[in-house]
């Protein structure tokens, strides 16, 4: 992925293998899928199912971390966004600086 700035490896789906979460500050806007955030679910033998988990298009994610934010026993992801100028229609909402991704994978 062009512009990838951070990847974290954790067992997000609690199946015993490592999955990946990746952010890209300079993701290419011409791609058919939003690549500013991607989740790589390890299916075993290093085969990954890739999803953007429907994260808003146009986010400029600068920071990402994982932890049990809602204290339900699984890992959630927090994304920190950089926003410059007025957002365009269909993009990340004005003032959205953090995006909380509740783990609903398992």
Dump pLDDT digits (tens) for 58-97.
Answer: 778 889 999 998 899 999 999 888 766 555 555 555 555 6
Q: Does the pTM exceed 0.75? A: yes
Q: Is residue 18 part of a domain?
A: yes
Residue 88 lies in a domain: yes
* 36: confidence class by pLDDT, cuts 50, 70, 90: confident
Q: Return the pLDDT at 55.
A: 82
Range of the domain at 95: 4-101
DSSP SS3 for 95: coil
Domain count, the chain: 1
- Alpha-carbon Rg for the chain, nearest whole angstrom, is 14
User: Mean of the per-residue pLDDT values for the chain?
Assistant: 82
pLDDT of residue 89: 53
Does 106 reside within a domain? no
In a domain, 64, yes or no: yes
Residue 65 within any structural domain of the chain: yes
């Amino acid at each position: 992925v062009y512009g990838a700035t951070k990847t974290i490896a954790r067992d997000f789906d609690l199946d015993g293998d490592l999955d990946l979460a990746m952010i890209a500050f300079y993701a290419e806007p011409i791609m058919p899928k939003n690549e500013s955030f991607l989740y790589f679910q390890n299916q075993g033998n290093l085969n990954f199912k890739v999803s953007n988990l429907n994260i808003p298009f146009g986010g400029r994610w600068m920071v990402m971390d994982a932890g049990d934010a809602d204290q339900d026993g699984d890992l959630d992801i927090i994304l920190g966004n950089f926003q410059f100028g007025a957002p365009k229609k269909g993009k990340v909402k004005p003032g959205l600086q953090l995006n909380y991704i509740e783990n609903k994978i398992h």
